[in-house]
Chain A
Amino acid sequence: MEPITIIIQALKIEAKMKPDARIYVGTTTYTYREFADMLDQYPGVNNHFVKTFLSSAVNLYNSNNAFKRRMISLAKEG
C-alpha cells in the first residue's frame, strides 16, 4: 500500500474514535468526522488545506519512524 493510503486509512480510524473533536482552519471548522469524509475523497479532493495536510502527513511518515509504525498498525485495524 502507498504511504498516503495507509495514512488516510489510519486517520479515518482515529477520527472514528473521536468524531466530535474539531479542527480550526482559519475561519472554517470541521469535526474529525467531517474531516475524515474529506480525506475519503482522496485523490479526487479539491481542497487546498486537505492537500497540504496530506503532504505534511507524508513528510512526517517518511521522517518519523514512530509515526510510520503507528500509522501502519492503525491502518491494519481498519
Chain B
Amino acid sequence: MDGVLFAPVFDEATVYSHAWCQALDASIKQLHLDTLFTGGRAIARREAEAILADHPTSFYVHYGHGSEDAHWGSASYALIDLQNVDRLTGRDVYCMNCLSAKRLGVEAHRCGCTAYWGYIEVFSFSTECPDDFRDFANCGLLCHLQGNPWSRCVELARELAATIAEKLINAGQYIAAILLQRNSDALRCWDGEAPPTPEETWWNRFLRWLRDLLDRIF
C-alpha cells in the first residue's frame, strides 16, 4: 500500500474535508498508486494505529480537525497526538487540518517522519467556493507524487494560491481570497531541515516538569 488516508466525519466542517480527501484519493489512484481510505465517520485511535502498523512505510494523510498537538478522529479523541506520534516515523505526512504543523509536526519531524506538510494556523475556508480551497489543499501531495521535492511543492502550492486568489478577486470574492492567502501563509513543510524550535515559556517548562513528575509517580 502506498498511502493510508484518514478523513473522519463528525461535524459540518468535516463533511467538506472528507469530500476533499476523497477527491485527493481519486487523483492519487489516477497516478496508479494504491491507497487505503478510511473516513465518512468518526475513526477510533486503535483502528488508525492498527492500519498504520499494517502499513509501516505508507505515506499518511489526515483531513479533518487538528490542533497544535493532535489529529482528531472524533470530537473527543485523537488519532495521533504527542503520545503516539512515533507511528509517523519513516513516513511522509500530509495534513489538511488546523495548527498541527506548529507542535505535532515539529515533534513528528524530531521522531523521524520524512516530511510533514501542515499548517501553523487554523485552516479556514468559505462556502462560496469550496472547490478552490480543495484544489489548494490537495495540490501539494499530488505535486510530490509526480516527482517534485517537497520544497518545490510548497512553492507550487503558494503559486496556485496566488493564482486562485487573483481569480477570486476578479470575481468579487474578496473574503474568500483573503482566507486562501491566509492558509497559504500558514502552510509549512518540515522535510530534512529541522523546524524552528518554539521558544519555551516558563509556563510550558512548568507543564513539562509537572508531566514528568506525574509520569514518575504513576
Contact = CB atoms under 8 A, between A and B. Distances in A.
A46 interface: no
Contacts of B11: 27
Given A11-B174, A14-B174, A70-B174, A24 B124 contact: yes
B122 A21 contact: no
A60 B178 contact: yes
A59 interface: yes
A60 B126 contact: no
Contacts of A26: 13, 65, 98-99, 122-124
B172 interface: yes
* Max chain B C-beta neighbours (<10 A), residue from A18, A25, A27, A35: A27
A59 B172 CA distance: 18
Interface residues of B, number: 28
A74 B175 CA distance: 13
Given A64-B169, A66-B166, A24 B178 contact: no
Contact of B178 (A32, A53, A74): A53
A53 B174 contact: no
A43 to B, nearest CB: 18
B169 A67 contact: yes
A56 interface: yes
Contact of A24 (B12, B170, B174, B177): B12
Interface in B86-116: 98-99
A73 B43 CA distance: 48
15 contacts: A11-B178, A14-B175, A18-B128, A23-B179, A24-B124, A24-B126, A25-B122, A25-B124, A49-B122, A53-B182, A56-B178, A59-B181, A66-B166, A67-B174, A70-B174
Given A22-B127, A35-B175, A60-B178, 16 more contacts: A14-B174, A21-B128, A21-B175, A24-B12, A24-B16, A24-B126, A26-B122, A27-B11, A32-B175, A49-B122, A53-B178, A53-B179, A59-B185, A60-B177, A64-B169, A70-B172
